[in-house]
Amino acid sequence: MENTETSLYCVLEEPLINGARMDIQDRTTPGLTSMLCTTGAVTLRSIVDVAGTGLNHAVAVASLLGQKSIRQTRNLLRRWTERLTEEEFRILQDYGSGVETPGEGDPFPDLGLPPDLDGYSGPLVDVGSLERLDLHTVKGKVFYKCCVKVMNKCKLDGRADTVWRKKTGGRQQHNTSLAGSL
């Protein structure tokens, strides 16, 4: 069951720091993470509460962050707006007009991880037909095994699943004395 509905609650709780999707800090915005952490504005909700749902009140955001440059603050707001999908921006507009309200019961977005094996192969690296680990349905043991395989793919590439596989050339050998006594 795929959940494609966008949640207002999740959009508002989207983090703005530490490499998150909405993290826009780069060489053009030095000290942004520090400013956001100092003011406690580490989620999109904190910026939306000050800038409005259109993310266009640069003076208020500059005051919140302690910035002196309104132009730089407008640039930040523009970049955050560009990171939002059309659906997310529409939901924010509906939130501003009172049509949408956030709730903790909102649907949580589907999260999945593709096991990226970069062309590595072998019986120890094989994840079968698994193209995506759906974090809502995957069992813990399957998730753990895939993580181990992905993290160790270089070491596991081309290795046999047992040392005896290479020594016997893949053919099975039976002890005939044991087979006769059974």
Question: What is the three-state SS of 10-68?
Answer: HHHCCECCCCCCCCCCCCCCCCHHHHHHHHCCCEHHHHHHHHCCCCCCHHHHHHHHCCC
**Domain ranges (residues) in the chain:** 8-97, 112-167
- Which pLDDT score is estimated for 65? 96
22-35 residue pLDDT tens: 999 999 999 999 99
Helix (H) / strand (E) containing 44: helix 44-51
- C-alpha to C-alpha distance for 59 and 66, rounded to whole angstroms: 10
Please report the pLDDT score of residue 1 as a whole number. Answer: 39
pLDDT attached to residue 177: 57
Instruction: Give the pLDDT score at 127.
Output: 77
Burial pattern 115-138, b for ≥16 Cβ within 10 A else e, equals bebeebeeebbeeeeeeebeeeeb
Torsional sign, CA 20, 26, 28, 33:
positive
Tracing tokens 């999260």 back to the chain, one arrives at 111
pLDDT tens digits for range 5-28: 788 988 999 999 998 999 999 999
pTM, entire model: 0.63
pLDDT score, position 165? 66
Q: Which residues pair with 124 in a beta bridge?
A: none
Report the phi/psi class of residue 171: left, alpha or beta, with left for phi > 0 and alpha for psi in -120 to 50.
beta
Q: In this predicted structure, what is the pLDDT of residue 140?
A: 86
Q: State mean pLDDT over 45-69.
A: 96
User: How many residues would you count in the chain?
Assistant: 182
